[in-house]
Structure formats: structure tokens, C-alpha cells
Amino acid sequence: MTHIAATASSSTQPAEALLTTLAKGFVNRLVIIIPYLWLLFFFLVPFIIVFKISLSQTAISMPPYTPVLDFKDGVAGFFAGFRALNFDNYTWLTQDALYFNAYVTSLIIAGISTILTLIVGYPIAYGMARAPATIRPTLLMLVILPFWTSFLIRVYAWIGILKPEGLLNQVLLATGLISQPLVILNTYTAIFIGIVYSYLPFMVLPLYSSLEKMDYSLIEAAQDLGCPPTGAFWKITFPLSLPGVVAGCLLVFIPAVGEFVIPDLLGGSQTLMIGKTLWNEFFSNRDWPVSSAVAVILLLVLTIPIMFFQQAQAKAQEQGR
Amino acid sequence: MNATWSRFNITSIVLGFAFLYLPIVLLIVFSFNESKLVTVWGGFSTKWYVSLFHNQGLMDATWVTARVGVISATVATVLGTLAAITLTRYTRFRGRLLFSGMVFAPLVMPEVITGLSLLLLFVAVGFDRGFFTVTLAHITFTMCFVAVVVQSRLVTFDRSLEEAAMDLGAPPVKTFFQITLPVILPAIISGWMLAFTLSLDDLVIASFTSGPGATTLPMKIYSQVRLGVTPEINAACTILIAVVAVGVIIASIANKRREIQRQLDEQAAQRG
């Protein structure tokens, strides 16, 4: 606040200084209020509505659900509405094994894909961090660039590669490695490939930024003292890159659980993931209350990793300052 | 450093980049395929590009997508920049934790949840689904990405510059536009571009929040992909990639120029 005092003393007119302070206070408040209100209205309120509608029943009308908890009948009506709330949609979710399987499958697929992405991404990030400083910005640019091309297009590109008569099978057949085309498209393998491919930059970037900061003389010291390279990696490099590992894994895992495009286009109709289930429930069955209930449970499942992510972000922000 | 950049490092980078780029390159190559079979090469041809431009539905969708992208990216950039300033400058105010939660959570929120919740909001408040609602939805989820990009620039910003300006009597708003804004401008521009491409790219949120008459390009591509892979879609994708690539290249050249100019200015200033 030193600058306000300075302004006040230089202008010699207290009224003007007061005006500046007031203006500053107003601007300050506006800077906070505008994005705050926007996010409240378009991010938080919608979740409350999702929760509300998950407690209503399907109806053949537009919108296709019975009204719950509105103020049409005044405050008394609002409270009366509490008694009318029903948890049928949630009971339904627990009774039909389909939903439970979809949640579990999604978590497992996301978990395996995250580990695969880490295994693929780590050597790339490590190689980049150890590259000559002059070419590092170019390498970084090359990792970010695919991120700018459409997600849908990148997933679509894999259909042509993985199809039974696709490019991968053509190459493998031509080289004589296989005699029968492999069935990859419309299996879980295709989903793994799709997720690893699409989310690779999200893994590489945080890994790179923590590996780049590392002091490599530590490894030289370890090796001088007789530590084998793999030992040095697990004892020094990996622990030091752990913040990057955690950030990268969260950035891949959380969106992957609710992924829709990849399981839908690469996984075919046989594979089961919760994002796809929600989509079908909404667009094919037109059951808004059940899809809301699916969303609420998905959100609850993801609350813990999302909170971890938010904390990691906040911490990174603190350190940046 | 060079000595430690071992063969293993180089191999992993080369393989990694091959993995990242090969699918896109193949997609582009096969958009020039004469044959209707996407994966069998039948000679060079640009006929799919010609038929693309005669596909009215696709052209309409492109126009909708471009307008949604420009409007939503612009509003999201303003809101995201304000959010970034709030996050870096105001460390203590009521509800700050909630605010930072609302900025960071959308970055990882599964799109199906964001899409569904926004749709239910629009139905609840009685907005007609269409162009307007898609734009609102895109502003909301892209502003958080802008906020993160701008914030990363703001944390390294030297605040003594602002203090100097204000000590010399510049009012806060003027200080912002004359000192702060020019310094963080590259971050704001890349934030805008990120918001624009995210909007261009989005299928799930648009599918939930869009209505009749506001079909975006990804929605159109998606419905065609479900019917089968055609070279025409490859051509549409190639054009989209080309547009984004040109944008990124222009932005990076502009960035580099500004950087060089800044260095020259600094040298000139040092020479006095």
C-alpha cells in the first residue's frame, strides 16, 4: 500500500487521494467479482441443479423430469418438496450391475492408462530435460503442438490405423510378423492406445518441468560413489521428479475416468465406461434424472483426486510467487 | 550436457515424437487419396477437398464453429485474465479457496459432467438451446485455461514496475493498461489461442448445450465418423489442422520478434 501513501503525499490534496483510494477499491472489487460471479453461476450452480434433478423422476414432457424443490408454491411448498424427494435413481444405480461395472471399469481403465502414459512419457520428458539447452524450446514446442490439433481428429486418426484392414495390420502382414490381421479396434487395447496418445502431452509437460529443474551433479556424485545408473535413477531422479509425476498422473487420470470420445470411437459398443453410459442415458434413453445421478456419483468418485489436483495447483502457485 | 545426452535419450525422444506425429501425418496423407477406401492408396487427388466445399452442412457447421470460437475465446480471455489477476494479486478475501477451486476444477472435470450440468442450468433458467448457449458454455470452461496461462506469466512479473508507475502518479487503471498489460500480453494472446482451439475442438460440451441450427464442426465430424471413415472427413480434418498450424506459427514468429525487439531495446538502454 506504499504507493497510495506516495500518491497522497505528492498530490497534497487529501480529497483527490481519497478518490484514488476509492477508485482503486472499486476496481479491485470488480476484478474479483466479475469472474467470481461468472464461475458461481456457470460452474457451481449447475452442479446444484444436477444434484436436484438427480432426485426427481422421469416424465414425458419437456424438460423430461418432474419439478422438485422450486419456489412456485412459496417457502412452504419448498419444504414440502423435501418430503417428495426420492432417491429412486440412486437405488436404481445400485440395483443395476451395469452402472457399478461401468464405474469400476472406468477407474481400472483410467488407472492402467495413467500408468502406461507415465511409462511412455517419462523417457520422453527425461530425454528432453537432458537435451542441449539450445534445442529444448523446440522439443517443448513439438510436444505442445499436437495438443493444438483437434482431440477428435487425433482419436479419429487411430481408427484408420487400428482397423482390421487398417495401416498397422497392413504393415504387420506385409512384413510377415503376423498371418492374421489383429483385432485391435473396438477392444480395450484400442482405448488404452487412444488415452495414452491423447493425454501424453499432459504427462510429459509436468514431468519435464520438474526434471529440468533437477541438479544432475547429484547423479554424477552417486555414480562416482559407485551407485549403478538404475540405482541412481530410483534413489535420486525419480523421487526428485515426484511432484511432476503426481501432477501428470492426476491430469491424465481424472479426465480419463469420464472420457467419452475415446471409448465411443475406439472402444466400440462392447466396452463399458461411465462417460459413455452417461451419454447414452442422456441422448438415447432421454433419462435426465438417471444421467444426473450418474454424474453426481462420478463427481463424488472423483472428488478426492480433484481435491489433490487443486491442492497441487495451489501449492505450485504459492511456490511461483 | 551433450555427453550425457545418451543414445537412450535420443531414441526415446525420436520414438516418442514418431508416436505423437505419425497418426496425424497419415491422416493428412490419406486426405489426398484418390481411392474411396481410406486406407488403400489409389493415387494423388484433391477431389475430396472439392466435394468438401460443396457439402453445405459441413460449411454451415464450420461457420458456426468459427463464430462460437472467436466470441467465446475473446470473452474467456477477458474473464480468465481477471481471474488470473485475482489469483495472483489478492491473496486474502472471503471465499478465495472456493474461487481457486472453481478455476482449477474445470481443467480436469470430465466433459460429460460439465456438459450435462450446463445444459440443466440452461433449461432451468429457460435459455433456448443454440448458438448462444454453446458460446456461454465454451466461455466457462475455456476461461479457466486462460486463467492458468496468464497466471503463470503474472507470478514472474516484476511488481516494482507497477509501483514505480503509481509512485509517479499514474492511477491504477492507467498503470494496468500501460505497464501490466503490455508485459503480460504474450500470455494473454496464447491464452486466447488456447481458448479458441479448445472451443474449435469441443464435441462433448457442445453436444449437450447446443440446439437445432447450431451444429458445430466437431458434432458434424462425429456424426459422420460414426457412419464410417471417409476421405472427405480426412480432408476436413487436414484443413482444420492447417488453420491451427498457421495460427501457431504466426503467433510464435510474432513472439520471437517481440523478444528480439525487447533484447535490442534492453541493449540500447544499457548503452544509454
What pLDDT digit, counting tens, does each position of B210-260 carry? 988 889 988 988 888 887 767 788 888 888 788 877 877 777 777 777 778
Nearest CA in chain B to A273: B112
Nearest to A30 by CA among B226, B186, B83, B153: B83
CB contact (8 A) between residue B203 and residue A20: no
Q: A66: part of which helix (H) or strand (E)? A: none
pLDDT value of residue A84: 61
For residue A229, count other CB atoms closer than 10 A to its CB: 13
Instruction: Report which of residues B255 and B268 the model is more confident about.
Output: B268
The domain total for chain A is 2
Is residue B44 predicted with pLDDT exceeding 90?
A: no
* Same domain? A79 vs A129: no
Cβ contact A266:A168 at 8 Å: no
Nearest CA in chain B to A249: B108
What's the grid cell of residue A107?
Answer: 477407474
Enumerate residue ranges in chain A where pLDDT < 70: 1-24, 58-64, 66-85, 317-321
CA distance B139 to chain A (A): 10
Interchain CB contact of B172 with A (< 8 Å):
yes
The CATH superfamily of B55-228 is MetI-like (1.10.3720.10)
CB contact (8 A) between residue B108 and residue A250: yes
Q: What is the DSSP letter of B116?
A: H
CB contact (8 A) between residue A160 and residue B27: yes
* Same domain? A183 vs A294: yes
CB contact (8 A) between residue B24 and residue A149: yes
Q: What is the DSSP letter of A58?
A: B
Q: Where are the beta strands (DSSP E) in A110-215?
A: none
Residue among B85, B139, B200 minimizing CB distance to A31: B85
Q: Which residues of B touch A132 (CB under 8 A)?
A: 1-2, 5
The SS3 of residue B44 is strand
* Same domain? A59 vs A143: no
Q: Which residues of B touch A27 (CB under 8 A)?
A: 172-173
Of A58, A84, A110, which residue constitutes the final position of a domain? A84
Per-residue exposure over B105-126, b if at least 16 CB sit within 10 Å of its own CB, e if not: bbbbbbbbbbbbbbbbbbbbee
* Same domain? A188 vs A201: yes
Is residue B7 predicted with pLDDT exceeding 60?
A: yes
Interchain CB contact of A159 with B (< 8 Å):
yes
CB contact (8 A) between residue A317 and residue B88: yes
pLDDT value of residue A105: 92
- Chain B (178-237) residues lying within 8 Å, Cβ to Cβ, of chain A: 193, 197, 200-201, 203-204, 207-208, 218, 221-222, 225-226, 229, 233, 237
CA distance B16 to chain A (A): 6
- Chain A (27-56) residues lying within 8 Å, Cβ to Cβ, of chain B: 27-28, 31-32, 34-36, 38-47, 49-50, 53
Residue among B10, B106, B147 minimizing CB distance to A127: B10
* C-alpha to C-alpha distance for A164 and A169, rounded to whole angstroms: 6
Residue type, B100: S
Q: What are the backbone angles phi and psi of residue A56, rounded to the nearest 5°?
A: -100, 180
Residue among B13, B93, B102 minimizing CB distance to A32: B93
Nearest CA in chain B to A277: B112
Compute, in degrees rounded to 10, the torsion defined by CA atoms A36, A291, B199, B26. Answer: 150
Nearest CA in chain B to A137: B252
* Same domain? A37 vs A92: no
Is residue B85 predicted with pLDDT exceeding 60?
A: yes
Of A84, A114, A132, which residue constitutes the final position of a domain? A84
* pLDDT tens digit sequence for B143-161: 999 998 898 888 888 888 8
Of A39, A60, A84, which residue constitutes the final position of a domain? A84
pLDDT value of residue B83: 94
Is residue B180 predicted with pLDDT exceeding 90?
A: no
Burial (CB count <10 Å: 0-12, 13-18, 19+), residue A56: buried
The pTM (predicted TM-score) of the whole model is 0.83
* C-alpha to C-alpha distance for B148 and A204, rounded to whole angstroms: 18
pLDDT value of residue B101: 86
ipTM rounded to 2 decimals: 0.83
Cβ contact A191:A266 at 8 Å: yes
Q: Which residues of A touch B77 (CB under 8 A)?
A: none
Q: Which residues of A touch B162 (CB under 8 A)?
A: 3
pLDDT value of residue A6: 44
* Same domain? A107 vs A176: yes
Place of cell 476461461: B143
CB contact (8 A) between residue B117 and residue A46: yes
* Same domain? A145 vs A74: no
Cβ contact A285:A44 at 8 Å: no
Spatial neighbors of A4 by CB under 8 A, at least 6 apart, are A17, A20, A21, A24
Interface test with B, best of A21, A36, A118 (most B CBs within 10 A): A36
What is the domain range of residue A290?
Answer: 88-320
